[in-house]
Every structure is written in structure tokens, then in C-alpha cells.
Amino acid sequence: MSTMIEFLEGIAEKESKVRAVLKRSLAFDPGLYPPAFPYVEHRLGNDDGNWKRTVFYLVAGLWALRRRESHGQGQTLPSACKEFYLKNEKSPSVEKRFMALLDADDGQLSNRLRQMVTLLKEYPIDFDHLLKDLLSWNHPDKWVQIKWAKEFYKADDNKENVVDTINEKES
């Protein structure tokens, strides 16, 4: 069985309006734009809850915002955020946006993700991975947010440790 992103890429090759419809769906709460229903609804089961439905529509819309990217290629969202942060000389505004994303609740997540994905337009995103992570976004242990924070703040062998930089700023 193909992933939702593989399906969307396949259908977008045949129907040019797919990306436009899904991109337009981001102007509405996820799952409430009827023209998007044919592209997402069949991927959901009758027993799937509202959160899963919301996430599927949100990720489909975010995928549509981007230029063509191949399925499974790209990086995780926190990895792209980190690269963007480092490329922009550790801009405090980038870090604040990332922290706001980590702190987003159900009502804020759609808007903050849309802004972040738009900001990261030059970075390929693995939307399948994003979908999997977002399905567990509301877990009480916040393990997805913790995983994203670890990925953003971890030290690379060739790059200065972000945490050390923060400590220097506080001194």
C-alpha cells in the first residue's frame, strides 16, 4: 500500500489542480474544505478519529505548498529548521518560531506549521515522516516535541553546539 504522499504525487501528475486545491485547503481548518475531500478522505478509515483526519488534511496541504519533491527524500522538519537556523547565523527569531511550533496546541499547530514550511521553502521535507510525527503530537508525554527539540539542539561533529551558544548568550 502506498503512502498518502506517494498517492498525492501520483495523482498530481495526472491532475494539475491537485496541488492548487490542497494548497487552498490551508485557508480553512484542516478537513473542512470540501474540494480536498477526494484526495484525502479515502485514506482514512471509518474508525479514525478527528485528530488523524486533521493531520492527514494538514500534511496534504503542506505538501501542496512545496515545489515538487520526491517521496521519502528530504529531511525531517526539525532537521530542516536546524539547517535554516544555522544558515541564518543562529537567528533568535528562527529559534523562537521553532519553540513556538513545539509549544503549539491543536488550534495553533496548523498555522505554525504552515508558516514554518513556507519559511523552509529551500529545504526538502519528508512529509511522510512529518505525518507520522504529527499523528502522535498530542501524546501526554510530548515525545514528538522532545524528539524534535533533541534533533534541533543536538551537536553535529562539524558544527558548534547550539546549546553552548545559548549558554554563552546567557553569560
Total domain count for the chain? 1
Nearest Cα neighbor of 2 from 43, 53, 62 is: 43
Distance, C-alpha 107 to centroid of its chain: 15
CB atoms inside a 10 Å sphere around CB 107? 8
Strand partners, 75: 125
| pLDDT tens sequence across 41-100 | 999 988 889 999 999 999 999 999 986 555 457 899 999 999 999 999 998 999 999 999
Query: At 132, which CATH number?
Result: 1.10.520.40
Statement: residue 9 has pLDDT above 70: yes
Domain that holds residue 27: 4-170
> Of how many residues is the chain composed?
171
Sorting pLDDT into bands at 50, 70 and 90, what band is 168?
A: low
More confident: 99 or 158: 99
Statement: residue 158 has pLDDT above 50: no
Q: Which residues contact 149 (CB under 8 A, 6 or more apart)?
A: 78, 102
Give burial (CB, 10 Å; 0-12/13-18/19+) of 86: middle
Statement: residue 104 has pLDDT above 70: yes
More confident: 101 or 156: 101
More confident: 109 or 16: 109
Contact by Cβ (8 Å): 120, 80: yes
More confident: 94 or 171: 94
| pLDDT tens sequence across 20-38 | 999 999 999 999 999 999 9
Contact by Cβ (8 Å): 5, 26: no
Q: What is the pLDDT of residue 1?
A: 42
Full-model pTM: 0.86
Q: What are phi and psi of 154, to 5 degrees?
A: -65, 150
Nearest Cα neighbor of 119 from 146, 91, 143 is: 91
| pLDDT tens sequence across 106-153 | 999 999 999 999 999 999 999 999 999 999 999 999 999 999 999 999
